[in-house]
Amino acid sequence: MIHSHKIKIALSALPKNDWWGSGIVAYPDNDMMVDGAQPNQSVLENEYSQLVTLIEHVGLETVIVPFSDALEKEEKFDFIFMRDHFLCNKNKTIVMCNMRLEERLDEGKFVIEKMQQSGYRVNYLPTQDCLAEGGEFFYLPKENILLAGLRRNNLKGAESMAELMEVDQLHIIQSDGYHLDTAICPIFNDEYDCIGINCAKEVFDNKNYSTLRDICKKHSWKLLDIENQDRKKSLIARSAMNCLTLPGLLLGTSPIKNTNIIDFTHQNNIQMHVSNVSQFNLSGGSVHCLTNELF
């Protein structure tokens, strides 16, 4: 059972005011954000509530981090994407991230008190020029491996994160996805072994796809391609693939319709659940972005 792994899921509370009530401010290099879009607040609140309920329904405890009044006043609403702020390892150590964008530099500090209250030791990257964002990583706790992208990270940040997370191996996976979690998604069996990798093949060039394929072959992970050259279809599929991925579970904003992935999950007893987060999708984030594992 999922809860036997004693995983908790951290989420941000909603801000008191409407989330991006004056319109989303898109970042120029994020093709998944809808500039100027105004989320429907009642729909958003309902989606958030349903996501929290589903996470608890599958046997996981939630840790809700308060939304800072200071961030609300500054209209920095992307704090809600809890994934970006930190990584956590099996030794109850939190490693704080350093964001690339100046607009988001100070967001992470507002999770620290809650993490310390919850019994976690908090560590920091050695210098501010170590760029590392949570959506650019997947931590594989059973194998003690860290997968890292290099779109929003730099190499110094990825290597420093790996050192502080005390992993045995770091694999760099480069793509054109805004974050690594818009390019791949690991699949875990009930024992928390990584057994496969979903891949949005269209965001990889031949060289980097070959590197990913070699990594999967080395570890006996099944590489499952989802390829959509049509931009709109690609964004929808990549948002669906941007799942909370846990032992025997994929929890996403919409169904993954790829036949090979459906067959693979059925064969390996992987449950796929859907909790629509359409209003958060407008700001480029999906279920993986809204959640973060605590071990």
Q: Is the pTM of this model over 0.85?
A: yes
The token pair that represents 146 in the structure block: 């860290």
Q: How confident is the model at residue 292 (pLDDT cuts 50, 70, 90)?
A: very high
The average pLDDT across 109-133 equals 97
Lowest mean pLDDT among 22-31, 84-93, 169-178: 22-31
Query: What pLDDT was estimated at residue 6?
Result: 85
Q: Is the pLDDT of residue 284 over 90?
A: yes
The average pLDDT across 195-220 equals 98
Q: Which long-range contacts (CB under 8 A, 24 or more apart) does 117-120 make?
A: 118/8, 118/63, 118/294, 119/92, 120/88, 120/92, 120/93, 120/94, 120/294
Q: Is the pLDDT of residue 39 over 70?
A: yes
Q: Is the pLDDT of residue 209 over 50?
A: yes
SS3 content of the chain, % helix, strand, coil (to 5): 35, 25, 40
Adjacency order of strands within the sheet including 244-246 = 244-246, 249-252, 271-274
Query: What pLDDT was estimated at residue 233?
Result: 95
The model's pLDDT over 131-176, given as tens digits with 9 standing for 90+, comes to: 999 999 999 999 999 999 999 999 999 999 999 999 999 999 999 9
Q: Is the pLDDT of residue 107 over 70?
A: yes
Query: What pLDDT was estimated at residue 1?
Result: 46
The average pLDDT across 77-93 equals 97
| Domain 2-294 fold | L-arginine/glycine Amidinotransferase; Chain A (3.75.10)
Mean pLDDT, the chain, whole residue set: 96
Q: How confident is the model at residue 8 (pLDDT cuts 50, 70, 90)?
A: very high
The average pLDDT across 18-42 equals 93
Calpha distance 56→260 (Å, rounded): 29
